[in-house]
Amino acid sequence: MKTLIITSSLILLCLLLPAGLVAPRENMAANTPSAHSPDITADVVKQIKKLQSNDPYTRVRAAYALGDMGYRAAPAVPFLIKALGDTEVGKSLTEKTFGFLFLGGGGRGVSTAAMNNLVRIGAPAVDQLIGALRDPNSRIRYHAASALGSLALRGIKAQNAVPSLIEALHDENSQVKNFAARSLGDIDDQRAVEPLIHTLQDEDMGVRGDAASALGKLKSKRAIRPLLAMLKERKQNYQFAADALREITGQNFGDDLQKWQEFCEKVNLDNDR
């Protein structure tokens, strides 16, 4: 009878493995490339394996080691993207022992380490980060959105991400929308102007603020009237509208609506790119 139970359990386990019903790091381990794989070096494989460690601090260090390799770590990108969903914090022995001396207890989040080092790897990460904007895990989506903006700030072309980031402005998760708006401002592509104007009406005040800031970076006169409307409503985060108007016009009237309206009456707002 005992033998029958063990055999049945093994059969069930074999059925569950292909279905993906195992812990994420176990799935990752099953797909880890070997040093004999084309275009991958032994040190990259070593760090990918460490990225699947049960110890979060080891995973954090592996992410930074892969970032140090830059382009050479391109084969590790799918594993780092998976790590964007990691909720654990990696702490060194010192931080574990004397955590009370550190702000917040010390340590670095595995997901943040993965995001930072995807940015350090650079261009090879762009396409897969775009794909990650549709991941079922919202933590992966918002880290991917953030990373795409950071890549643009480092001078890496991320224009291909614009349509997907515009789509992400409608995400059910507010953090995804926040980072999508910020990154659209950082990428500096005029295709984002109208979608960001629409996002000024989002129910989340943080999303509205980030949309206004992004419009300020894009410097399109098309955004002036909607930003004036946001300033007039005096809803939370309306100050971001004033800041954006300053960025677009070069004028600084703070949140003085009357002065902004008087200025804009003298400016041709219908002649814009």
> Is position 68 within any domain?
yes
Which residue type is seen at 182? R
Q: Which of 145, 150, 119 is nearest to 131 (CA)?
A: 145
> Is position 199 within any domain?
no
Dist. CA 246–CA 241, nearest whole Å = 9
Number of folded domains in the chain?
1
Residue 10: per-residue pLDDT = 40
Residue 78: per-residue pLDDT = 97
Residue 264: per-residue pLDDT = 85
What's the predicted TM-score (pTM) here? Answer: 0.82
> Is position 114 within any domain?
yes
> Is position 90 within any domain?
yes
The pair phi, psi for residue 175, each rounded to 5°, is -65, -35
E strand or H helix at 62, and its extent?
helix 56-69
> Is position 153 within any domain?
no
Domain containing 90: what range? 23-121
CA torsion angle 142 147 148 153 (round to 10): 140
> Is position 187 within any domain?
no
Per-residue pLDDT of the chain (273 residues; tens, 9 = 90+): 444 333 444 443 344 334 333 334 545 554 665 544 557 899 999 999 999 999 999 999 999 999 999 999 999 999 999 999 999 987 765 666 555 445 544 568 999 999 999 999 999 999 999 999 999 999 999 999 999 999 999 999 999 999 999 999 999 999 999 999 999 999 999 999 999 999 999 999 999 999 999 999 999 999 999 999 999 987 777 899 999 999 999 999 988 889 998 888 887 666 555
Block residue for tokens 């939370």: 236
Residue 106: per-residue pLDDT = 55
> Is position 253 within any domain?
no
> Is position 2 within any domain?
no
Q: Which of 54, 53, 56 is nearest to 88 (CA)?
A: 56
Structure tokens at 12: 């069930």
Give 192's contacts (C-beta < 8 A, 6+ positions apart). Answer: 162, 165, 166, 184, 185, 214, 218
Which residue type is seen at 58? T
Distance of CA 10 to the CA centre of its chain: 39
Which residue type is seen at 195? P
Q: Tell me if residue 138 falls in helix, strand or coil.
A: helix
Residue 42: per-residue pLDDT = 94
Residue 124: per-residue pLDDT = 96
